[in-house]
């Protein structure tokens, strides 16, 4: 009853607004709600959203977010978006639980709601777009090392802590596909605990223990920087390639010096682009979010949804000397 | 002036009550509120909509509940910067209680009791130990939220029952939310307490001159202790509403609210030095802040610009009367 009343009120509001404007030319308004404004990663995502809007045509992007990364701030922003009757909200959430009530209200009023990057619980969204998946990351980190070892060789893994869930999952996924790389041996896995100095010493230790080491895979942004520094300091640039997951801003030096040939992380531009495409397709009825279903996302292909209605966008994006300059200022 | 000294009239009051009211802070603020309302109605086609305006009230109702008690505390010459942390601790306690199956009445009782206990802790340190309230409450600000962080870490409590979340999301009648009703009810209670009771008069007296108040027979420490209890209690009430609205608890809940509450109090015309201020002023200030943030939100103005605007509004509203009096005295001289 209450919901019905609300929907009626919302409909009345929409109807009264639609009258003066030319109904057919109304742009599809998609709100990109980020954790906080002024963060390079999200500015880049907004760039991607604008790219998608230009491609789709007649789409207006509302890029917004609170000043600080609080759930309460995002709720105020989302309230204002509901009031404007936007067509879709795509949110990177500061809190997976606290945003659920307000997002449910948005959906009650006919607004398409998806989360991306940092998700909300299933009740509060129609689907979630993760930048990548554990499986894709696991495959990617060994691929990065293999790309520069055509004749095979010895690689070692420098992880975060031994109990880090993310890293352990990715390493397990990597081991699952090692049969595809018969010439490559993983000689050791060491733990730098995501501390710069400990990671540095562990990387030094690896080079001493395994003089023939060809690559260090560090699936952690702290470890990869420390390992690259250790390789540079040991004068082993060109002999030991450091790769894994890192941030372009922190890895630009290592790419320049050659300590790292390439590394990977999600691409925020692609992420903003894909989130916008999905929000558009769901709001326009071009696709529906259902377990096992797929939603098209323009040049990024299609996202496949699992039982929790979340899906992974793509492989992590590879950064090397050809594109590091473009991204080093972004995040 | 042609009048001679002999027939000079001594007025029995300086200004007529009507004149005084016209020039009061509340009138100025009300004019600002009306101006913002009108501007918003023109600026955005979505503003004048009952449901949207109702949604907008949630932006300030919880903070305003604390601001009422804070106004009394500031008038008495003290301050409590731990209010947002009290919300975090009270919310964490309620979240823990949900995990062991507590129902709505028990949850509300827990929220209010934790609020009272925190208020009492602040009150004891300030009134009995004689420590400055700003120092004490900066300390307890970290302490109370720190406990919430120790309990929860990066986890969250959820699973609040619907009859509890109603207090943060429910509607009493049409678009009138429970929070809005509670806001007005509390405004009335605090307004009566401050403006119509002996207790309220003693609050002003303490703020103007604590020593004088003491020698006039006012139990200064007791009044101050009660004010800290009240502020703690209202933080507990806000915790119930906010937790109900969010439906979950994280230790970062209500982060930074202490400054928004103090802003609301100061914007409402309460002197930060104590001794003057009114509840109607705080009520209007709550609406002003709510309307400004919502109106700018409708125009998708970035939050950073919004903070700048609130800051300018605060300085402007505070500076305007002083500039006015200075100009007038210069013109008279």
Please write the tens of the pLDDT for every residue from A260-302.
Answer: 999 998 888 999 999 999 999 999 988 888 888 899 998 988 8
User: For the whole model, what pTM was predicted?
Assistant: 0.77
Residue B132 has pLDDT above 90, yes or no: yes
* pLDDT, mean of residues B7-15: 65
CB of A200 within 8 A of CB of A226?
yes
Position with higher pLDDT, B273 vs B205:
B205
| Average pLDDT over chain A, rounded to an integer | 86
Considering chain B, what percentage of its residues have pLDDT values greater than 90? 59
Residues A203 and A209: their CA atoms lie apart, in Å, by 10
Q: What pLDDT score was predicted for residue A1?
A: 45
Chain B contact set for A62 (CB, 8 A): 300
Average predicted confidence (pLDDT) for chain B = 89
pLDDT digits (tens, 9 = 90+) for A242-268: 999 888 888 888 998 989 999 998 888
* Cβ atoms within 10 Å, residue B238: 32
Position B117 scores a pLDDT of 97
pLDDT, tens digit (0-9, with 9 covering 90-100), for A80-119: 999 999 999 999 988 888 899 999 999 999 999 999 988 8
pLDDT by residue (tens digit) across B195-240?
A: 999 999 999 999 999 999 999 999 999 999 999 999 999 999 999 9
| CB contacts, 8 Å: A67 with chain B | 302-304, 306-307
- Give the span between the Cα atoms of A277 and A88, in whole angstroms: 11
Task: Report pLDDT for B13.
Answer: 62
**Lowest-confidence pick of A1-10, A186-195, A250-259:** A1-10
Residues of A in contact with B51 (CB under 8 A): 6, 9-10, 13, 83
B171 and A76: CB-CB below 8 Å? no
**Both tokens of residue A65?**
């977010």
Given the DSSP bridges, would you call strands A302-304 and A294-296 parallel, antiparallel or unpaired?
antiparallel
Between B293 and B96, residue with greater pLDDT: B96
Choosing among B40, B43, B44, B51, which should be mutated to test the A contact, i.e. which has the most A CBs within 10 A?
B51
Instruction: Quote the tokens at residue B28.
Output: 């100025």
Architecture of domain A134-265 in CATH? 3-Layer(aba) Sandwich (3.40)
Our CA-based measurement puts residue B186 at a distance from the nearest CA of chain A, in whole angstroms, of: 23
**Cβ distance of B303 and A85 shorter than 8 Å:** no
- The predicted pLDDT at position A23 comes to 42
The residues near B75 (Cβ < 8 Å, ≥ 6 apart) are B194, B203, B204, B207, B270, B271, B274, B275, B276, B277
Q: How confident is the model at residue B11 (pLDDT cuts 50, 70, 90)?
A: low
Using the predicted structure, report yes or no on whether residue A240 has a pLDDT greater than 80.
yes
Asked if B253's CB is within 8 angstroms of A80's CB, the reply is no
pLDDT at A5 over 90: no
Taking each helix axis as running N to C, give the angle between helix B198-208 and helix B178-196, from 0 to 180 degrees, rounded to the nearest 10.
70
> b or e along A250-284 (b: 16 or more beta carbons within 10 Å of the residue's beta carbon)?
bbbbbbeeebbbbbbbbbbbbbbbbbbbbbbbbbe
State mean pLDDT over B122-142. 95
Share of chain A above pLDDT 90, in %: 43
**pLDDT > 70: percent of chain A:** 92
- pLDDT tens for each residue of A120-154: 999 999 999 988 888 888 999 999 999 888 888 89
Kindly tell me the burial class for residue A21, based on how many C-beta atoms sit within 10 Å of its own C-beta (0-12, 13-18, 19 or more): exposed
**Per-residue confidence (pLDDT) for residue B108, from 0 to 100:** 97
Beta bridge partners of B173: B176
Q: Say yes or no to pLDDT of B292 above 90.
A: no
Residue B82's nearest CA partner among B228, B191, B184 is: B228
In a mutagenesis test of the A interface, which of B50, B303, B306 is the best target, namely the one with the most A β-carbons within 10 Å?
A: B303
Contact B298 A80 (CB under 8 A): yes
Longest dimension (CA), chain A: 75
Instruction: Report yes or no: B212 and B236 within 8 Å, Cβ to Cβ.
Output: no
Residues of B in Cβ contact (< 8 Å) with A97? 156, 158, 246-248, 250
How high is the pLDDT of residue A6?
53
- Listing DSSP states for B48-108 in one string gives S-HHHHHHHHTTTHHHHHHHHHHHHHHHTT---TTHHHHHHHHHHHHHHHHHTT--HHHHH
Q: What is the pLDDT of residue A18?
A: 41
Right CATH number for B56-323 from 1.10.3470.10, 1.10.3720.10, 3.40.718.10, 1.20.1250.20?
A: 1.10.3470.10
Higher pLDDT, B115 or A68: B115
Token match 């917004």: residue? A64
More confident residue, A327 or B245: B245
- Residue A16: the pLDDT is 44
Whether the predicted pLDDT of A11 surpasses 60: no
What token pair was written down for A95?
A: 């809190």
- Output the pLDDT for position B153: 82
Domain locations in chain A?
A: 2-131+268-314, 134-265
State the pLDDT at residue B174.
Answer: 87
Q: What is the pLDDT of residues B41-95, one digit of tens each?
A: 888 888 888 888 888 898 899 999 999 999 999 999 999 999 999 999 999 999 9
pLDDT higher than threshold 60 for residue B271: yes
How far away is chain B from the Cα of A259, in angstroms, using its nearest Cα? 35
Q: A2-131+268-314 in CATH: which number?
A: 3.40.50.2300
- First-to-last C-alpha distance (Å) of chain B: 15
Q: Which residue has the higher pLDDT, B296 or B332?
A: B296
What is the structure's pLDDT at A41? 82
Chain A contact set for B306 (CB, 8 A): 67
- C-alpha separations of A175 from A179, A186, A206 in Å: 8, 9, 19
- CA torsion sign, A164 to A40 to A311 to A173? negative
Q: Please tell me which of the candidates A5, A67, A77 has its beta carbon nearest to residue B307.
A: A67
pLDDT digits (tens, 9 = 90+) for B20-30: 666 677 888 88
**In the predicted model, what is the mean pLDDT of residues B91-119?**
95
| pLDDT tens digits along A217-232 | 999 888 999 999 999 9
Closest chain A C-alpha to B245 CA, distance in angstroms: 7
pLDDT at residue B2 above 70? no
- What residues of B are in the A interface, CB distance below 8 Å? 44-47, 49-52, 55-56, 58-59, 156, 158, 165, 169, 171, 174-175, 242, 245-248, 250, 252-257, 293-294, 297-298, 300, 302-304, 306-307
């Amino acid at each position: 009853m209450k919901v019905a009343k609300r929907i009626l009120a919302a409909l009345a509001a929409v109807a009264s607004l639609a009258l003066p404007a030319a109904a057919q030319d109304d742009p599809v308004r998609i709100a990109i709600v980020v954790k906080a404004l002024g963060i390079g990663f999200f500015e880049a995502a907004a760039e991607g959203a604008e790219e998608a809007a230009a491609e789709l045509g007649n789409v207006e992007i509302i890029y917004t977010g609170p000043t600080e990364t609080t759930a309460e701030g995002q709720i105020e922003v989302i309230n204002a978006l509901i009031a404007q009757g936007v067509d879709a909200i795509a949110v990177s959430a500061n809190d997976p639980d606290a945003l659920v009530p307000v997002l449910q209200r948005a959906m009650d009023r006919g607004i398409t709601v998806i989360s991306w990057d940092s998700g909300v619980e299933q009740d509060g969204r129609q689907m979630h777009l993760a930048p990548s998946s554990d499986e894709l990351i696991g495959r990617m980190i060994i691929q990065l090392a293999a790309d520069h070892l055509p004749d095979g060789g010895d690689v070692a893994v420098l992880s975060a802590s031994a109990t880090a869930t993310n890293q352990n999952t990715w390493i397990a996924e990597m081991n699952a596909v090692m049969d595809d790389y018969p010439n490559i041996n993983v000689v050791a896995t060491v733990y730098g605990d995501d501390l710069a100095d400990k990671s540095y010493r562990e990387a030094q230790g690896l080079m001493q223990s395994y003089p023939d080491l060809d690559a260090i895979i560090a699936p952690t942004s702290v470890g990869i920087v420390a390992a690259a520094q250790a390789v540079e300091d040991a004068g082993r640039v060109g002999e030991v390639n450091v790769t894994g997951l890192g941030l372009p801003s922190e890895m630009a030096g290592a790419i320049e010096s050659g300590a790292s040939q390439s590394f990977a992380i999600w691409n925020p531009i692609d992420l903003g682009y894909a989130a916008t495409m999905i929000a558009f397709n769901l709001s326009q009825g071009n696709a529906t979010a259902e377990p096992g279903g797929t939603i098209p996302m323009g040049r990024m292909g299609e996202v496949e949804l699992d039982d929790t209605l979340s899906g992974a966008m793509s492989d992590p994006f590879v950064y090397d000397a050809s594109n590091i300059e473009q991204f080093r200022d972004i995040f | 002036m042609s009048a001679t000294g002999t027939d000079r009239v001594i007025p029995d009051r300086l200004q007529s009550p009507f004149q005084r009211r016209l020039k009061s802070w509340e009138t100025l603020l009300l004019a600002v509120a009306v101006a913002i309302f009108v501007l918003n109605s023109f600026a955005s086609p979505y503003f004048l909509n009952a449901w949207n305006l109702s949604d907008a009230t949630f932006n300030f109702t919880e903070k305003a509940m604390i601001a009422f008690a804070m106004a009394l505390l500031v008038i008495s010459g003290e301050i409590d910067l731990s209010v947002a942390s009290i919300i975090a601790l009270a919310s964490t306690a309620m979240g823990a209680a949900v995990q062991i199956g507590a129902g709505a009445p028990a949850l509300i009782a827990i929220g209010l009791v934790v609020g009272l206990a925190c208020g009492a802790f602040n009150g004891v340190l300030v009134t009995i130990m004689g420590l400055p309230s700003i120092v004490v409450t900066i300390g307890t600000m970290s302490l109370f939220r720190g406990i919430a962080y120790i309990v929860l870490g990066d986890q969250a409590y959820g699973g609040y029952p619907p009859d509890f979340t109603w207090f943060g999301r429910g509607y009493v009648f049409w678009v009138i939310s429970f929070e809005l009703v509670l806001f007005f009810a509390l405004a009335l209670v605090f307004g009566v307490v401050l403006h119509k009771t002996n207790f309220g008069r003693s609050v002003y007296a303490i703020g103007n001159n604590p020593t004088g108040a003491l020698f006039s027979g006012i139990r200064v420490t007791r009044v101050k202790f009660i004010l800290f209890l009240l502020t703690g209690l209202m933080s507990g009430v806000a915790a119930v509403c906010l937790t109900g609205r969010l439906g979950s608890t994280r230790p970062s809940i209500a982060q930074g609210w202490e400054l928004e509450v103090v802003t609301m109090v100061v914007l409402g015309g309460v002197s930060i030095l104590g001794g003057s201020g009114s509840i109607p002023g705080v009520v209007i200030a709550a609406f002003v802040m709510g309307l400004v943030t919502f109106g700018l939100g409708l125009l998708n103005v970035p939050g950073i610009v919004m903070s700048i605007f609130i800051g300018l509004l605060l300085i402007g509203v505070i500076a305007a009367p002083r500039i006015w009096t200075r100009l007038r005295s210069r013109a008279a001289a």
